[in-house]
């Protein structure tokens, strides 16, 4: 029995380690590729071969790809654009969705059922359906090729309002709000100083989700933004890929530049993020 | 004394305003648009139901649908079982390093779809690509110039999506598994149930609600595939449209050819497909709950 258990454990760990390695290989391949010249890229799979430590040509490792990206190819501009768009979008989305969710979860008013049904119905509308009519509307409003046109339509996803409503239904006691009201606190003060701190994990998770959503969005900026100066990383890098598509080492460096900010933020917010991601699903 | 309660409406103003302007209005507008032929956003011509009639016999649309269904089948029958398998491995009691494994498996889902496409394009490359070189090393006679992104586009996309999403879905499965009551499992163990029996008769029914939810999200997401294919194939549908998906066809007609009308009808057919899938999924889950 003991032996069987040990054998089973060995199999489980082996499988996990193998899968972990398979998962990490594309990252390693990208990292190694970004540090090579175009010519070394074609010659070796990972780091360039040579007579240095571990049989690796350490002297052939180069940061040239990054230098080119931030120098002549001006990827820094696109990175700032992405940072700006994703931050503004994340902060405003969390604010607006938490406001809406709060009203639906904790305030009594005529029409609450109607708005709640509206939010639930909106959950099933697939995004691509709105691409063509949304584009036409932005054209009519004169908002094509502007950040306003790119950001405004996505600031109040029904999905976000719904998530905050669910979090506040359980996480914010009604008596607490009543007590604050009797003490003479205004509605805005109750919301910002009492309610929001109670749903902080949800705010953290949704901040992350929204930030990532905008950072990784491609189709909207591709359709809406024409000026290269306005392009976020996703579109800018894809255009570089069109121009220097066979220079894989360069594209890999660009990919690293593009994914590392999200990775860093995730490592900071990790615990809240995974809790918020699965919390709603498991409780429901 | 009853004063008008304005506060709820003030809190809802941003949502109601933006939702009406950027969701409700375009939704209504897209019904009219789907009955027009447009030449860019400015010029338009009324064609009635012609778009839908044309769509039913449009070989490109059916090609896109077939490709999209292939991709969705890949995520349903390959990616979800892998995700569940990883979750089962991680759910073993007294497993050491669970948090680290979970972090590693989850990491790819932080890489956005466009960047996964850029990361995998070189991996699938014909002579220099990591995948062909590896397969050639392990399998004798594997062609080093195997044309993943020319002839086997959908398989390539399924592989890239497997890498990207398995860990994401694993997190959901793992959360569900950790909610399965240990008492039930231990009771079954005392009764001498084998591993397969325990999984099939206790674990699976317990995680079914979340499994159903993950499956639905996964299939709906697969049906909206665009970036992975478009970017990996250098802003195209690939040779012989082998990488064309429904959303890519919508994009091409609406924003490359400039016919927002036909793009809208494609959008409506896609929406219809997704709603049908959601209804079927609900039926299946309900039937299981009754048993």
Q: Is pLDDT of A51 > 70?
A: no
In which band, very low, low, confident or very high, does the pLDDT at A55 lie, cut at 50, 70 and 90? low
pLDDT for the residue A23 = 96
**DSSP code, position A48:** P
In which band, very low, low, confident or very high, does the pLDDT at A275 lie, cut at 50, 70 and 90? low
Beta strands (DSSP E) in chain B are 36-39, 43-46
Let me know: does A141 contact A149? Beta carbons within 8 Å: yes
Which among A25, A96, A263 has the least Cβ separation from residue B15? A96
For the segment A50-58, the average pLDDT, to the nearest whole number, is 67
Interface test with A, best of B12, B194, B228 (most A CBs within 10 A): B12
Sequence-distant (6+) residues with CB within 8 A of A278 are B171, B172, B175
CA B76 to chain A, closest CA, distance in angstroms equals: 19
Let me know: does B271 contact A125? Beta carbons within 8 Å: yes
In which band, very low, low, confident or very high, does the pLDDT at A224 lie, cut at 50, 70 and 90? very high
The pairs formed by A76-79 with CB atoms below 8 angstroms and a separation of 24 or more are: A77/A229, A77/A236, A78/A231, A78/A232, A78/A233, A78/A235, A78/A236, A78/A237, A79/A233, A79/A257, A79/A258, A79/A261
Mean residue pLDDT of chain B comes to 91
In which band, very low, low, confident or very high, does the pLDDT at A278 lie, cut at 50, 70 and 90? low
The rounded percent of chain A whose pLDDT value lies above 90 is 65
Q: Is pLDDT of A52 > 70?
A: no
Q: Is pLDDT of A1 > 80?
A: no
Choose the most confident range, by mean pLDDT, from A33-47, A196-210, B257-271. Answer: B257-271
Q: Is pLDDT of A25 > 50?
A: yes
Interface test with A, best of B10, B17, B26, B88 (most A CBs within 10 A): B26
pLDDT for the residue A27 = 94
pLDDT for the residue A147 = 97
Q: Which residue has the higher pLDDT, A52 or A76?
A: A76
Partners of A42 on chain B (C-beta within 8 Å) are 128
pLDDT tens per residue across span B201-213: 888 888 988 899 8
Q: Which residue has the higher pLDDT, B187 or A20?
A: A20
- Inter-chain residue contact B260 with A136, CB threshold 8 Å: yes
**DSSP code, position B257:** S
In which band, very low, low, confident or very high, does the pLDDT at A282 lie, cut at 50, 70 and 90? very low
- Which tokens sit at A112? 């609450």
The answer to whether A103 faces chain B, any CB pair under 8 Å, is yes
pLDDT for the residue B251 = 97
In which band, very low, low, confident or very high, does the pLDDT at A80 lie, cut at 50, 70 and 90? very high
Q: What is the pTM of this model?
A: 0.92
Q: Which residue has the higher pLDDT, A101 or B93?
A: A101
Q: Is pLDDT of A225 > 60?
A: yes
Sequence-distant (6+) residues with CB within 8 A of A163 are A97, A101, A202, A206, A280
Let me know: does B127 contact B146? Beta carbons within 8 Å: no
For the segment A78-93, the average pLDDT, to the nearest whole number, is 97
pLDDT tens per residue across span B103-126: 999 999 999 999 999 999 999 988
Let me know: does B163 contact A26? Beta carbons within 8 Å: yes
Q: Is pLDDT of B4 > 60?
A: no
- Inter-chain residue contact B26 with A252, CB threshold 8 Å: no
For the segment A67-93, the average pLDDT, to the nearest whole number, is 95
pLDDT tens per residue across span A109-144: 999 999 999 999 999 899 999 999 999 999 999 999
Angle at A228 between CA A224 and CA A229, to 5 degrees: 105
Q: Which residue has the higher pLDDT, A45 or B253?
A: B253
pLDDT for the residue B1 = 40
Which among A234, A245, A248 has the least Cβ separation from residue B234? A245
pLDDT for the residue A41 = 78
For the segment A34-42, the average pLDDT, to the nearest whole number, is 82
Mean residue pLDDT of chain A comes to 89
pLDDT for the residue B74 = 93
pLDDT for the residue A53 = 66
Q: Which residue has the higher pLDDT, A201 or A81?
A: A81
- Inter-chain residue contact A103 with B8, CB threshold 8 Å: yes
The answer to whether A123 faces chain B, any CB pair under 8 Å, is no
CA B38 to chain A, closest CA, distance in angstroms equals: 10
Q: Is pLDDT of A36 > 90?
A: no
CA A59 to chain B, closest CA, distance in angstroms equals: 22
pLDDT for the residue B2 = 47
pLDDT for the residue A284 = 33
For the segment A216-243, the average pLDDT, to the nearest whole number, is 95
pLDDT for the residue B186 = 81
Q: Which residue has the higher pLDDT, A284 or B37?
A: B37
pLDDT for the residue A277 = 63
pLDDT for the residue A9 = 87
- Which tokens sit at A160? 């976000």
Rounded Cα gap, residues B217 and B85, in angstroms = 18
pLDDT for the residue B276 = 95
For the purposes of burial, counting CB atoms within 10 Å of the CB of A103, is it exposed (0-12), middle (13-18) or buried (19 or more)? buried
pLDDT tens per residue across span B18-69: 999 999 999 999 999 999 999 877 788 899 999 999 999 999 999 999 999 9
pLDDT tens per residue across span B138-196: 998 889 889 998 999 999 999 999 999 999 999 999 989 988 888 888 888 888 878 88
Let me know: does A251 contact B121? Beta carbons within 8 Å: yes
Partners of A125 on chain B (C-beta within 8 Å) are 23, 27, 271
pLDDT for the residue A8 = 85
For the segment B223-228, the average pLDDT, to the nearest whole number, is 96
């Amino acid at each position: 029995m003991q032996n069987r258990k040990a054998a089973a454990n060995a199999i489980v760990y082996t499988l996990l380690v193998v899968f972990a390695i398979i998962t990490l290989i594309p990252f390693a391949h990208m990292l190694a590729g970004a540090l090579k010249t175009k010519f070394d890229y074609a010659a070796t799979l990972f780091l360039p071969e040579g007579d240095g430590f571990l049989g690796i040509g350490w002297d052939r490792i180069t940061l040239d790809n990054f230098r080119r990206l931030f120098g002549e190819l001006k990827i820094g501009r696109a990175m700032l654009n992405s940072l700006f768009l994703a931050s503004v979008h994340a902060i405003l989305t969390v604010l607006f969705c938490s406001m809406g969710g709060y009203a639906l979860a904790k305030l009594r008013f005529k029409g609450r059922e109607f708005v709640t049904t509206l939010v639930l119905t909106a959950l099933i509308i697939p995004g691509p359906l709105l691409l063509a009519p949304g584009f036409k509307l932005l054209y009519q409003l004169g908002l094509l090729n502007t950040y306003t046109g790119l950001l405004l339509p996505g600031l109040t996803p029904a999905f976000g309002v719904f998530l905050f409503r669910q979090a506040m239904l359980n996480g914010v006691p009604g008596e607490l709000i009543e007590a604050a009201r009797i003490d003479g606190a205004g509605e805005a003060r109750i919301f910002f100083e009492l309610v929001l701190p109670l749903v902080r994990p949800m705010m953290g998770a949704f901040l992350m989700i929204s930030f990532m959503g905008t950072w990784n969005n491609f189709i909207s900026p591709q359709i809406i933004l024409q000026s290269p100066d306005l392009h976020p990383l996703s579109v800018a890098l894809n255009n570089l890929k069109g121009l220097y598509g066979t220079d894989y080492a360069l594209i890999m460096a660009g990919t690293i530049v593009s994914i590392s900010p999200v990775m860093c933020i995730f490592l900071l917010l990790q615990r809240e993020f995974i809790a918020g991601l699965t919390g709603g699903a498991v409780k429901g | 004394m009853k004063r008008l309660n304005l506060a709820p409406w003030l809190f809802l103003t941003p949502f109601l305003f933006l939702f009406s302007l950027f969701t409700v209005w375009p939704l209504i507008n897209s019904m009219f648009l789907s009955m027009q032929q447009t030449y860019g956003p400015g010029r338009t011509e009324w064609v009635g139901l012609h778009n839908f009639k044309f769509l039913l016999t449009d070989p490109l649309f059916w090609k896109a649908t077939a490709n999209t269904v292939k991709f969705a089948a890949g995520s349903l029958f390959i990616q979800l079982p892998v995700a569940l398998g990883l979750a089962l491995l991680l759910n073993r009691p007294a497993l050491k390093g669970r948090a680290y494994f979970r972090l590693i498996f989850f990491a790819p889902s932080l890489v956005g779809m466009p960047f996964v496409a850029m990361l995998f394009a070189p991996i699938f490359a014909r002579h220099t690509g990591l995948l062909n070189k590896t397969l050639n090393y392990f399998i004798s006679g594997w062609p080093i110039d195997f044309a993943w992104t020319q002839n086997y586009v959908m398989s390539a996309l399924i592989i890239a999506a497997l890498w990207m999403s398995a860990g994401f879905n694993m997190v959901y499965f793992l959360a569900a598994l950790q909610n399965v009551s240990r008492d039930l499992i231990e009771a079954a163990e005392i009764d001498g149930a084998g591993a397969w029996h325990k999984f099939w008769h206790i674990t699976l029914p317990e995680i079914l609600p979340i499994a159903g939810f993950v499956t639905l999200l996964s299939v709906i997401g697969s049906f909206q595939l665009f970036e992975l294919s478009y970017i990996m194939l250098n802003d195209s549908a690939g040779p012989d449209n082998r990488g064309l998906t429904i959303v890519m066809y919508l994009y091409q007609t609406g924003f490359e050819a400039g016919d927002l009308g036909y793009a809208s009808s494609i959008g409506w057919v896609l929406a219809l497909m997704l709603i049908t899938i959601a209804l079927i999924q609900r039926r299946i889950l309900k039937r299981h709950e009754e048993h």
